[in-house]
Structure 1
C-alpha cells in the first residue's frame, strides 16, 4: 500500500518541523521545542503526534502515519527573538487568529530574517562588557582599558576564525590565547595592574552561559541526551578558553 501523503496533508507536518528547526537553531531548550511542536500539531489536526529532539536533529511523527520525518540541525546560534516569534505564531495558530498557510509564511519569513547586530556593534558590545566585567571582578580603573581592548580583539578574532575555519573549538582557543597574550603585554608595558582580572573580564563574552543554562534545564526536564550533549559542548568551550590562557602562562 502506498503510504505517501498528499501535499495538503504534508503541510501541517512541514509547519511543525519548520517551527522546531527555527527554535532549535536559535538556542531554545529541547523541552520547549518539543512542547511547541506538540501544541502546533494538535492545533493542526495531527493527533497523537510524537517528536524527538536533540541539539543536532528533530524526528517528528504524526499518530496517523507509519513513518517519521527527520531534519538535521547543522548550525546553532543564539537568537531569542526568533524563539519568541515562533512561540507567538504557535499561540496565534492555536487561538485561530492565523491559518496554517499564514503560519507557514510567517515561519518562512522568520527563518530567512537576520536579527543579529552588525559585527562592529557586536565587537563594541563585547569590548565594553569586558571592561565592565574587569571592574566587576574587583579590577582597578587602570585595568578597564586593557580589558576593553583585550575583549574586543579576542571577540573579533573569534568571529573571523569561526567563519574561516568552521571549528568552534579552534576559534575559541586562539581567541583566548590572544586575550592572554595581549593582557600580558599590557602588564609588562605598565598598563594595568591585575593580569588575572583583565583576563577574566576579557574572556567573559566567550563563556557559554546559554549552553550551560540550557543543559541544566534539559537535564531537569528529563531530556538526558540533549542535556549531556549540551553540557559536553559547554565543557569543550570552557576547556578551549582555559587551554588558550594556560598556553600563554606556560610560554611567557
Structure 2
C-alpha cells in the first residue's frame, strides 16, 4: 500500500472517530470502529488512542500517524448510527474508501437537526411525564406547569449555548430560570407543588447519556475517558443543582 493511500485510510478513520466522539458515542465503540475501518482498508495492525478531547491513530511499526482534536461534544445518535451504517457498508465492499470518506463528510456537515421549536416541545412533554414518574405522585394539576417550566428552561439552555462557549453556564442559568418560574407559578396559584414542578422541569437538562457512557467506558477499561466524562457529567449536575439552590436560598 502506498504512502498516500495509508494516509487517506488514517484520515478517514479520524473523521469517523471524531464524529462519533462529538456525537456522544462510547470510547470503546469509537476505537473498535476506527480499527475495523483501517483493517478493512488493508491496514492489518493499527494503533488507536482516544480521549474526550482528542484522538490518535497510527500504523504499528510504520512511520504513519495522525492526530485529531475534539472541540465540541454533544448528543446526536443519528450521526452515530449513520457512521456505523457507512462503516458496515465499507466492510461489505458496498462502497470504496473514497466513497466512505465522502459519506462521512456528508454526515458531519449535512445531518439534519431537529428544529428548535420541536426540541422545546419535546422538553415540555418529557418534563410533564417524568414529573409524575420521579415524584411518585399522580399530580395531574402540575402536569401543565411542569411542561411550561421545562420548555422555558430548555429554551434558555439552547439560547445561552448558542450565545456563549462557556461550559456549564447554560445549565446554571436555565436551572435558575426553572426554579424562579416554578416559584412564580406556585405563588400565583397556577401550580400546586413546587418540588414536583422542578423535578420534572430539570429532567431535559440532566446529563443522563454522559453518565451512562462514563460508566460503560469505565467498565470497558477506558479509565481516562470514563473519569473525564464522569467529571463532566458531575459538573453539569452541580451547575443545575446550584441554579436551583440559589432560587431556594433567596426566594423561599
Q: Same fold (TM over 0.5)?
A: yes
Aligned length: 248
**Which residue of structure 2 aligns with residue 95 of structure 1?**
92
Matches within 5 A, 1:213-228: 213-228=212-227
Does residue 7 (structure 1) correspond to residue 8 (structure 2)? The answer is: no
Correspondence 1:1-252 to 2 at 5 A: 6-136=3-133, 137=135, 138=137, 140-252=139-251
SS of residue matched to 1:27: coil
CA change 1:99–1:70 in 2 (3 A) is same
CA contact (8 A) 2:10 2:65 kept: no
Secondary structure of the corresponding residue to residue 158 of structure 1: helix
1:8 positional shift? 3.0
TM-score by length of 1: 0.95
| Cα separation, 1, equivalents of 2:215 and 2:189 | 42
Q: TM-score, normalised by structure 2?
A: 0.95
Please state how far the C-alpha of 1:89 moved relative to its aligned partner.
1.5
TM-fit CA distance, 1:98:
1.3
Whether the 8 Å contact between 1:139 and 1:198 is mirrored in structure 2 is no
SS state of the match for residue 159, structure 1?
helix
Give structure 1 stretches of 5+ with no counterpart.
Answer: none
Alignment RMSD, CA only? 1.3
Q: Which runs of 4+ in 1 moved over 6 A?
A: none
Shift in Å, 1:96 = 1.4
Moved more, 159-168 or 210-219: 159-168
Task: Give the stretch that moved more between structures: 240-249 or 56-65.
Answer: 56-65
C-alpha deviation, 1:64, in angstroms: 5.0
Q: Is the 8 A contact 2:7 2:64 kept in 1?
A: no
Counterpart Cα distance in 2 of 1:95 and 1:188: 62
Cα shift readout 1:111-170 (whole Å, capped 9, x = no counterpart) = 112332000110111012111122222251111111011101100001111111212311
Unpaired runs of at least 5, structure 2: none
**Mapped contact 1:47–1:64 kept (Cα < 8 A):** no
